[in-house]
Amino acid sequence: MKRIIIDQEKCDGCKNCTVACMLAHRATPGTVYDLDLLDPKNEARHTIVANGKGGYFPIFCRHCSVPDCVGACMSGALCKDPVSGHVQYDESRCGTCFMCVMSCPYGNVKPDKVTHKKILKCDFCKDDTEGPNCVRVCPKKAIHVEEVSA
């Protein structure tokens, strides 16, 4: 299965990955030049925080082998795809209990800022045949996709 791997030492906090994620998941098609970065509807599926030592700590979904978020999901809105190994989210099944948010040990699963009725998490840019946008745009190559064993 493929996972997004982060090399924290290479991350300079440029947030190109954040903009690429926002662009990939925006409601209306467009380019980076007309993307409203302040519109909460364009929220990214990951977070980058300063580590307090002059560096940055990217927080991405790990698509865990045994995901706590899936185990905590009472409605079945989260499931692990047996083929890709990615944790997938079905918004139509979500009961907005946010048990997944509380159970994610990495702090990646989060409620959306607009409606607070769904969660946001990395979907590995599942509709993009070229793979995750964040990986393609990282100028430092701090983000890459790697084949890992289950």
Q: Which residues pair with 115 in a beta bridge?
A: none
> Is it the case that residue 91 has pLDDT exceeding 70?
yes
User: What total of structural domains would you count in the chain?
Assistant: 2
| 108 and 144 housed in the same domain | no
Predicted TM-score (pTM) of the model is 0.89
For residue 68, is pLDDT > 90?
Answer: yes
Residue 145, CB-side half-sphere exposure with 13 Å CA sphere: 14
Query: What average pLDDT does this structure show over 65-77?
Result: 96
Residue 143 has pLDDT above 70, yes or no: yes
Domain CATH for 139 = 3.30.70.20
Q: Are residues 56 and 130 in the same domain?
A: yes
pLDDT top residue among 128 and 99: 99
**Residues 115, 72 share a domain:** yes
pLDDT by residue (tens digit) across 16-30?
999 999 999 998 889
Q: Which domain holds residue 99?
A: 65-121
Contact 89, 100 (CB under 8 A): no
Among residues 144, 123, 139, 98, the alpha carbon closest in space to that of 21 is found at: 123
What pLDDT sits at residue 150? 63
> Three-class SS of residue 71?
helix
Average pLDDT over residues 100-129: 93
What is the three-class DSSP state of 144?
strand
> Does residue 149 register a pLDDT over 90?
no
